[in-house]
Amino acid sequence: MKVLVVEDELKIADYLYKGLTEQGCSVDLAHDGLDARHLALEIDYDVIVLDQMLPGLDGLAVLQSLRAVKDTPVIMLTARDRIEDRVKGLRAGADDYLVKPFSFMELLARLQALTRRGRKHEATQIRVGDLVVDLLARKAFRDGSRIDLTAKEFALLSVLARHQGQILSKTAIAEMVWEVSFDTSANVVEVAIKRLRAKIDAPFHSGLLHTVRGMGYVLEERSAR
Partner 1 sequence: MSSARSIAIAARLAAMFAIAALLVLSLLGYALDRELATVLRRQQIDQLDTKFQDIDYVLERLRGPEQWERIHAKLDALTPPDRSTQYWILSDDPQIRYGNALAEIVSFSQGASNVGELRIGDQPEPMLIRSAYLPANARHAALRFIVGIDSASYARTRRDFHSVLLASGSGGVLLFALIGYLITHWGLVPLKRLSREAHELSPSMLSQRLVVTHLPAELSDLAQSFNGALDRLEAAYEQLETFNADVTHELRTPLTNLIGQTQVALSRERSATELVEVLQSNLEDLERLRAMINDMLFLARANLGERPQQLLRTSLAAEVEKAVEFLDFLLEEASVSVRVQGDAKAPIGSSLFQRAVTNLLHNAIRHSPAGSEIVVEVAAGESQARVSVSNPGPAIPPEHLGRLFDRFYRVDTARTNSGESHGLGLAIVKAVAAMHAGSVFAASNGGITTVGFSVAIGA
Binding site residues, partner 1, CB under 8 A: 81-83, 99, 101, 103, 152, 174, 178, 180-188, 191-192, 195, 213-215
Closer by beta carbon to partner 1, 136 or else 151 = 151
> For the sheet containing 145-147, what is the strand order?
125-128, 131-134, 139-142, 145-147
Residue 164 CA to residue 158 CA, distance in Å, equals: 9
What number of other Cβ atoms are within 10 A of residue 167's Cβ? 20
Task: State in angstroms the smallest separation of the CB of 95 from partner 1.
Answer: 18
Task: State in angstroms the smallest separation of the CB of 83 from partner 1.
Answer: 6
Task: State in angstroms the smallest separation of the CB of 107 from partner 1.
Answer: 13
Task: State in angstroms the smallest separation of the CB of 184 from partner 1.
Answer: 5
Residue type, 18: K
SS3 label, residue 61 = helix
Closer by beta carbon to partner 1, 129 or else 207 = 207
Closer by beta carbon to partner 1, 2 or else 152 = 152
Exposed/middle/buried for residue 75 (C-beta within 10 Å: 0-12, 13-18, 19+): buried
Rounded to 5°, angle at Cα 167 from 161 and 173: 65
Closer by beta carbon to partner 1, 36 or else 174 = 174
Task: State in angstroms the smallest separation of the CB of 200 from partner 1.
Answer: 15
**Are the beta carbons of 161 and 127 closer than 8 angstroms?**
no
Closer by beta carbon to partner 1, 118 or else 214 = 214
Q: Residues for the chain: how many in total? A: 225
SS3 label, residue 88 = helix
